[in-house]
Amino acid sequence: MPHIPLLSVSIFLPLLGALVLLVLRTQGRVLAFALGIGTTALTVVATALIWMRGVPGGFAQVEELRWIPSLGAAYRVGVDGISLPLVLLTALLFLVAMIYSAKVTDQPGSFVALLLLLETACLGSFLALDLLLFYVFFELTLVGMYFIIAGWGHEGSKKAALTFFIYTLVGSLFLLLAFLALYLNAAPHTFDMRVLLAHPPLTGTAAALTFWGLFLAFAIKTPLFPFHTWLPAAHTEAPTAGSVILAGVMLKLGGYGFIRFSLQMTPDAFRQFAPYVMGLALFSALYGALAALGQTDIKRLVAYTSVNHMGYMVFGVGAAALTTTGSAFGLDGAVLQMVSHGIVTSCLFLLVGALQDRTKTREMDQLGGLAQAYPLLSGLFMLAAFASLGLPALAHFPAEFQIFLGGYEVAPVMTALLLLGLLITTALYLRAIQRVFLGEAPTMALPPADLSGRELWAIVPLIILIVGLGLYPEALLRVIHATQQVLGHE
């Protein structure tokens, strides 16, 4: 049986689907989404086969082709225990977003093609083992998301899309400078990430400046305070599928970058500046929770909780940078937090989208008592909200518990303050549930239908994973921790 390059198949299968749509020039909704759902489903199968092949610890299943040999750049892709969970998450969320969006009637062919292009860019970013290749895929994600927000968003979508694009493009300029510094200081010059990870080329001032270039790029993408201001508007104005991909996948490019590049390629500089990074992550987590508490728009509330949860994630990476003992918990928790946040927050955005479709509003003051009209939607929202606030046996709990353990070993006071974020998140979700779903039914006329079959096909798999990951996180932690052992973070 010939060896199938599963990584390249996973990356370029969505692009092939997008090209077929462009060749057919179809704007028929049924054909466009049949092709989109079929392509993303096959991509899920391909990524599952990558998992089944096994990832023993270091980079596995590497595929490499000559590209620009004079620059030391090549098409190099591979997978390890840090990238594999994010690849699986990406494939799943694009399938879920495609299923949920099957109702789109405004240029559905173009919408599906852009989603497929964006999936190729995201998967390529997580699987790239070449700095230049990573940068190409990373930049393509900006293009795809810009057009999805601007073309299919709400009233202020064009301004929100432009703000998102400018913020992240500025971050990309710092990222390019940092990559050039890594390349020029490597001997011989190379963009091969495996070489740069095995032998970080920078020391002293050069390492510090490169670290801060990487930090700015990924702090904007994650995002951390005060680089987060593009996020609420982008989420609020984006279509539901755009919010799912933005929160569930694209924010993870920032977290992945902190681990893969900042932590692994500038380890000494990260260790030096880790207390400052952890302090900013602490402030970002508390600020995100407090900002969410003050929202009246339920979608903006969920958007601000992303700032809170990504603050936890960066805090865990900071703990990993300080000591090898703290990293075993902190880094495991940070990677698991990215996966759990992607599942939980995407589920919440899908449910908010379903809620808005029925009530034509996201303002909590105009809602109330919806549990009577939509018991299934309300029950699933409450379950996802309980997961987001960190309830045991649901997805966020094992991730955040390990982050707090890792942080406590190196920064007990900051970790104690970080726990306040859990209390605030609990308060904001209980308040939102009370205002939206409990109490007297609203006076507005509501359509009688609860969640449709299409919506359930998108939401129920995420609900199953929320419970499954909470009860058995070891399924992913085993893979993540194997990579930590290879890296020496044990």
Residue pLDDT, tens place only, 313-356? 999 999 888 875 545 788 888 999 999 999 999 999 999 999 98
The predicted model gives 284-295 an average pLDDT of 92
- pLDDT recorded at residue 176: 94
Q: What percent of the chain has pLDDT over 90?
A: 51
Q: Tell me how crowded residue 188 is: count the other CB atoms within 10 A of its CB.
A: 6
What pLDDT score does 326 carry? 46
What does the pLDDT average to over 460-477? 92
pLDDT (average), residues 360-370: 84
Place of tokens 């969640």: 451
pLDDT of residue 442: 64
pTM of the model: 0.92
Q: What is the DSSP letter of 77?
A: E
pLDDT, the chain, mean: 89
Percent of the chain with pLDDT over 70: 96
Closest CA to 49 of 110, 7, 94, 2: 7
Minimum mean pLDDT range among 16-30, 82-96, 172-186, 278-292: 16-30
CA distance 407 to 185: 33
Q: Tokens in use for 113?
A: 């093609």
In this prediction, residue 490 carries a pLDDT of 47
Going by pLDDT thresholds of 50, 70 and 90, the confidence category of residue 157 is confident
- pLDDT band at 415, cuts 50/70/90? very high
In contact, 333 and 407? CB cutoff 8 Å: no
Residue 362 pLDDT level (bands cut at 50, 70, 90):
confident
Decide if pLDDT at 1 tops 50.
no
197-215: per-residue pLDDT in tens?
Answer: 888 888 889 999 999 999 9
| Distance in angstroms (rounded) separating the CA atoms of residues 15 and 111 | 13
Report the C-alpha gap between 230 and 221 in whole angstroms: 10
DSSP readout, 424-449? HHHHHHHHHHHHHTSSSPPSS---S-
Q: What is the mean pLDDT of residues 464-471?
A: 94
pLDDT the model gives residue 482: 76
